[in-house]
């Protein structure tokens, strides 16, 4: 089902720097500042930009924190491995991709250790890579909310974020007009004053305040709660809650977002009637058996309460949500979608197949791990 194109959400996001911004290039420079921003060559000149991967990482981290605040056990930590984390509570935080790897059938026996160094073999490996028609729905169903939306090592996420480029760079403007150099000094941890050792002084090139970047965000084959997670990101970016890049504790990375409209669209053969007052999520297009296989909500829809006229363009039927003097359809969409997201996350069950007991761990020469 996820290999088809069902529904889409897309919009353009503007990010305006409220203070200095630094997304480090990671490359050493023989001359110039110690820390420099990442650069790209575009429109015939070198310019700063915000990589889509950086934005995706920041957005995922923010959504993970929000989900964990409502329901701590249901979201994984991408950096956490199963090795030495076989305690029931610790294992629930192990990265979904790592847990799927342990469940995958292999020719060789898979072993794992606990915190005491004891070795166990995995007796129950229920994911068969030779049978993707059965494995793929199971992986999607068992993934945590963050992995379902942003992806893991086992499947592509629902969301795509483009690189954010300068939107106010004229033909005669140079990239250096948006850059300023700042000095810094390391702090002596004993005296609390400036360190006197060699190398304590450093400088950094940052993007100055008031610079506008622009990116496009695309969500495909979404469930309503995933649309709500995206609307929550929009709201928090507009409120300036999310910071980007390095030096956040030093006042860097403050940005504010702005969007003019959000477009929701479907392929016309899938839409029998014009959905003027509703948005249909993935589960609405699935049969009961498909919905059970993928773990989606049956009859997954969002009732808007107001009419938003549709537009027919080619093979797509689309609705454009925006706030104007007559209607506040964008604000209504954000409010109702966020409410649906919170409700769904609060009632999200932890799949039994993602718990440590499902592995059927057996200690070498001993009884099965309890």
Residue 370: which pLDDT band, with cuts at 50, 70 and 90? very low
368 found inside a domain: no
Mean pLDDT to the nearest integer, 198-208: 68
What pLDDT sits at residue 363?
83
What pLDDT sits at residue 102?
92
Least confident of 19-28, 29-38, 198-207, 323-332: 29-38
1 found inside a domain: no
Mean pLDDT to the nearest integer, 323-342: 92
Q: What share of the chain has pLDDT > 90, as a percent?
A: 53
pLDDT tens digits for range 40-93: 878 777 888 899 999 999 999 999 999 999 999 999 999 999 888 888 889 999
Q: Is residue 196 over pLDDT 80?
A: no
170 found inside a domain: yes
Q: Is residue 31 over pLDDT 50?
A: no
More confident residue, 367 or 204: 204
- Domain with 136, as residue range(s), is 7-363
31 found inside a domain: yes
More confident residue, 288 or 369: 288
199 found inside a domain: yes
More confident residue, 153 or 325: 153
Q: Is residue 27 over pLDDT 60?
A: no
98 found inside a domain: yes
Residue 1: which pLDDT band, with cuts at 50, 70 and 90? low
369 found inside a domain: no
pLDDT tens digits for range 93-139: 999 999 999 999 887 888 888 888 888 888 888 999 889 888 999 99
What pLDDT sits at residue 368?
46
What pLDDT sits at residue 114?
86
What pLDDT sits at residue 325?
79
Mean pLDDT to the nearest integer, 6-17: 95
pLDDT tens digits for range 242-284: 999 887 877 888 999 999 999 999 988 777 556 778 999 999 9
Q: Is residue 174 over pLDDT 70?
A: no
What pLDDT sits at residue 99?
94
Mean pLDDT for the chain overall = 86
Q: Is residue 191 over pLDDT 80?
A: no
Domain count, the chain: 1
344 found inside a domain: yes
350-356 — which CB contacts under 8 Å span 24+ positions?
Answer: 350/73, 350/74, 350/92, 351/141, 351/142, 351/295, 353/103, 353/126, 353/138, 353/142, 354/92, 354/96, 354/99, 354/142, 355/88, 355/91, 355/92, 356/86, 356/87, 356/88, 356/91
């Amino acid at each position: 089902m996820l290999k088809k194109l069902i529904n889409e959400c897309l919009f353009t996001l503007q990010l305006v720097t409220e203070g200095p911004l630094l997304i480090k290039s990671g490359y050493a420079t023989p001359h110039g500042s110690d820390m420099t921003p990442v650069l790209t060559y575009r429109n015939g000149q070198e310019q700063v930009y915000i990589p889509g991967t950086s934005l995706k990482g920041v957005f995922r981290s923010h959504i993970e924190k929000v989900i964990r605040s409502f329901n701590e056990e249901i979201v994984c930590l991408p950096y956490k491995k199963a090795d030495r984390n076989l305690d029931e509570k610790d294992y629930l935080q192990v990265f979904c991709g790592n847990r799927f790897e342990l469940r995958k059938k292999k020719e060789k026996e898979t072993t794992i250790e606990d915190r005491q160094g004891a070795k166990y073999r995995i007796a129950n490996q229920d994911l068969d890579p030779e049978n993707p028609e059965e494995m793929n729905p199971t992986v999607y169903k068992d993934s945590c909310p963050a992995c379902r939306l942003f992806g893991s090592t086992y499947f592509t996420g629902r969301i795509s974020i483009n690189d954010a480029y300068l939107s106010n760079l004229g033909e005669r403007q140079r990239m250096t007009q948006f850059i300023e150099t700042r000095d810094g000094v390391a702090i002596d941890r004993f005296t609390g004053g400036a360190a006197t050792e060699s190398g304590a002084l450093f400088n950094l090139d940052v993007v100055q305040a008031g610079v506008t970047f622009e990116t496009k965000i695309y969500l495909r084959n979404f469930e309503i709660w995933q649309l709500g997670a995206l609307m929550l990101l929009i709201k928090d970016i507009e409120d300036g809650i999310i910071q980007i890049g390095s030096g956040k504790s030093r006042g860097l990375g403050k940005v504010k977002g702005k969007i003019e409209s959000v477009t929701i669209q479907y392929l016309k053969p899938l839409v029998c009637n014009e959905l003027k007052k509703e948005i249909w999520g993935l589960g609405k297009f699935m049969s009961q058996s498909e919905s059970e296989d993928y773990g989606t909500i049956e009859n997954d829809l969002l009732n808007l309460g107001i009419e938003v006229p549709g537009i027919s363009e080619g093979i797509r039927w689309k609705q454009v949500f925006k706030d104007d003097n007559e209607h506040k359809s964008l604000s209504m969409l954000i409010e109702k979608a966020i409410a649906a997201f919170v409700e769904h996350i609060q009632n999200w069950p932890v799949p039994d197949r993602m718990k440590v007991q499902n592995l059927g761990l057996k200690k070498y020469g001993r009884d099965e791990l309890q």
